[in-house]
Structure 1
Amino acid sequence: MVPKVVFGQGSFDQLQSILSPERKSKSPFIFLVDDVFIGNNELIDRINLRFNDKLIFVSADEEPKTIQVDQIVKDIKAEFTYRPSGIVGIGGGSILDLSKAVSIMLTNKGSASDYQGWDLVKNKALYHVGVPTISGTGAEVSRTTVLTGPVKKLGINSDFTPFDQVILDPDLTKGVPRNQWFYTGMDCFIHCVESLNGTFLNAFSQSYGEKAYDLCKEIFLDSSLSEEESRAKLMMASWHGGMSIAYSQVGVAHAMSYGLSYVLGTKHGIGNCIVFNHLEEFYKDDVILFKEMVAKHNIDIPQGLCKNLTQQQMDTMIDIALSLVPLWENAIGDNWETVITREKLASMYRKM
């Protein structure tokens, strides 16, 4: 679990007082910041860089890649003689995942692709802090950093992955584009659906999942909420949803969206929405509710992405999905391979 968290409007201004006890002599803090904030002097000034701290703007236009992690780590090692005091990620899920991965690779040898899987990390990660500027992914709380590698899309799942400190300031999510707000919020909703309907469910994950699920219904269906209330509640839904899957697992939508992302480059949130839109067979009532939310907010869910795939692309997409064994075990059970065949997945993908 993330050992320390602060929440509230304006809590971002506590950043330097939080970092101060962790600062080591001559060792900088490295700030990985979403490049959407380039030119946003108000936010950058609030970071309050000190000494030889380094700010690196990172693009979140594409899903995080292992090669991207390796390059950032290489650049940091080349520029600084001393190991950094820590890594601070400021942005959405992609930036938070990159930050977690960089903090791991600064203390572990090899490439980030070597650690894609479960519990492969040997050494404790560098001190790292997460500051989400969009809510829904749960990346701020999860033990996973989702990365696309040279042969697969798979997270670095380990006890060393979670942040040491998270700052939850709802004000930082002001101005998020409406479609992105919805897609990322639905990532949280789908986390809850998959956790609550999974075979891995337990009392701990259920308590968090039910709370996040109820918050999502309130946020996306209750028109009486103010924007301020909605921002705060979605930030907490994201946290609770992330906690739920951290102690259980996700399911069909995530397994299939990984394939979309690897082959077509589809961003995670919208990819989940594309897949979930066709999963009545597995989550009937929740898909009906999802479609109600889509209609209420007049959101466009892309169609026809897979209709012109080559056989090689389809095979790769299916291979990626089938490789995510724990997700299928959670969604269906130990006999999942008798239900989820290659033919079944191909038929499902062709609908998307």
Structure 2
Amino acid sequence: METEKKPAIEMVKKGSKSQFKNFPMVPRVVYGVGCFDQLGDILLPKRKNSEAPIIYLVDEVFEHKALPGRLPVLFNDKVIFISADEEPKTEQVDTLVSYIKKEFEELPSGIVGIGGGTLLDMAKAVSIMLNNNGSAHNYQGWDLVGKPAIYHVGIPTISGTGAEVSRTTVLLGPSKKLGINSDYTTFDQVLLDPDLTIGVPKDQWFYTGMDCYIHCIESLNGSYLNAFSQSYGEKALDMCKEVFLGDLSPEESREKLMMASWHGGMSIAYSQVGVAHAMSYGLSYVLGTKHGIGNCLVFQHLQDYYPEGVKLFHEMKRQHKIELPKNICGALTDEEMDTMISVSLGMEPLWENALGRSWREKISRETLKELYLKI
């Protein structure tokens, strides 16, 4: 589908001058097999004193495995295991922040998130809310955060979401699913160790990897496309094709997908995602569908919007023998369907990127209902 093209590097007029958006990037990143073992050295100079702990938020899948024993725990550091079975919620963030403030006399020296997109988003949100008043749901939106987050580190253990590099932390709130989009959200430090992704179940590996692939397709076909986004998106897309259609060794596949995730996240820093993500937000809010599989469930039916991308998606799905759930929207009430559609349509920047500035004339509630009923 043709989209209206407009300059994606948006400018804000200031008198006779134009001001370009000044997006943050992760200032420090270490990459390589085994680099996780450098975490202690990285954290040591960030420790304020023995009473200001490092809080490790770790996917509970690692609770009885070797990884926790490798954490550089000192003084009164705290390891908190968190389930990633559901999307992160603003209420969950508020509970964690309240616990940390009551448990420790001083604010932590830092927050370390270890896991997939859910844990990375939790770490970003908690680090923000420890330094800002009120509930996390008050900050869902764009540039609502007033004070910098405390020092926070992201360590992905599955590749594809791009959460390790993005300026957003996507949360389910009481009335919407929306990110805390802020210059203060971005991690201060990221560790990319491909070996941490060993053992990821195949279906989860596929769904999360497809999140990266769909990032690329939506960014590269959007009206916000520019040379900055294109350079990262094309590289990420090439690596996704190598991983999901090529003949790589397991080691090469882990390394390629980890870097595809990084580049895919960067591709939307100066751009946006599109139809699949907008509709996936509705699925997640009403049905609790996890982000990766939600994108897949929607994307398979978007041939009218991304014909070549959808064709390649089905080829990847066939090659890896992935079967997606069916008829998950068939039993929705009218009220639930209306809510799902409203949540989706509320993602205005995503629709504008996908369909151009006149997107409201090109998509309707009826069209979205028809698409959802195919899922």
| Bin for the TM-score computed over the shorter chain | over 0.9
- 1:248 maps to 271
1:340 equivalent to 2:346? Answer no
The partner residue of 2:297 within 269, 274, 283 is: 274
Worse-matched range after superposition: 263-272 or 340-349: 340-349
The partner residue of 2:151 within 122, 127, 140 is: 127
The structural deviation recorded for 1:195 is 0.4
SS in 2 for 1:56: strand
1:210 equivalent to 2:234? Answer yes
Q: How does 1:84-233 map to 2 (within 5 A)?
A: 84-223=108-247, 225-233=248-256
The structural deviation recorded for 1:348 is 1.1
The partner residue of 2:70 within 46, 71, 74 is: 46
In 2, Cα distance between equivalents of 1:101 and 1:312: 30
In 1, Cα distance between equivalents of 2:256 and 2:357: 36
Report the RMSD for the aligned CA atoms in angstroms. 0.5
The partner residue of 1:263 within 286, 306, 327 is: 286
- 1:33 maps to 58
- 1:304 maps to 327
The structural deviation recorded for 1:347 is 1.1
Q: Which amino acid aligns with 2:62?
A: F
The partner residue of 1:284 within 294, 307, 310 is: 307
- 2:87 maps to 63
SS in 1 for 2:268: helix
Q: Which amino acid aligns with 1:212?
A: A
Work out the number of aligned pairs and report it: 350
Normalized against structure 1, the TM-score is what?
0.99
The structural deviation recorded for 1:218 is 0.5
In 2, Cα distance between equivalents of 1:48 and 1:332: 48
In 1, Cα distance between equivalents of 2:54 and 2:233: 34
SS in 2 for 1:13: helix
In 1, Cα distance between equivalents of 2:233 and 2:342: 29
In 1, Cα distance between equivalents of 2:363 and 2:94: 34
In 2, Cα distance between equivalents of 1:340 and 1:70: 36
- 1:315 maps to 338
Q: Which amino acid aligns with 2:198?
A: K
In 1, Cα distance between equivalents of 2:353 and 2:150: 31
In 2, Cα distance between equivalents of 1:187 and 1:304: 21
In 2, Cα distance between equivalents of 1:168 and 1:65: 25
The structural deviation recorded for 1:48 is 2.1
- 2:32 maps to 8
In 2, Cα distance between equivalents of 1:64 and 1:227: 30
SS in 2 for 1:131: strand
Cα displacement string for residues 57-113 of structure 1 (whole angstroms, at most 9, x for unaligned residues)? 001010000000000000000100101001000001000000000000000000000
Structure 2 unaligned regions, length at least 5: 1-24
- 1:234 maps to 257
The structural deviation recorded for 1:275 is 0.2
1:79 equivalent to 2:107? Answer no
The structural deviation recorded for 1:303 is 1.4
Q: Which amino acid aligns with 2:59?
A: D
Q: Which amino acid aligns with 1:234?
A: L
Normalized against structure 2, the TM-score is what?
0.93
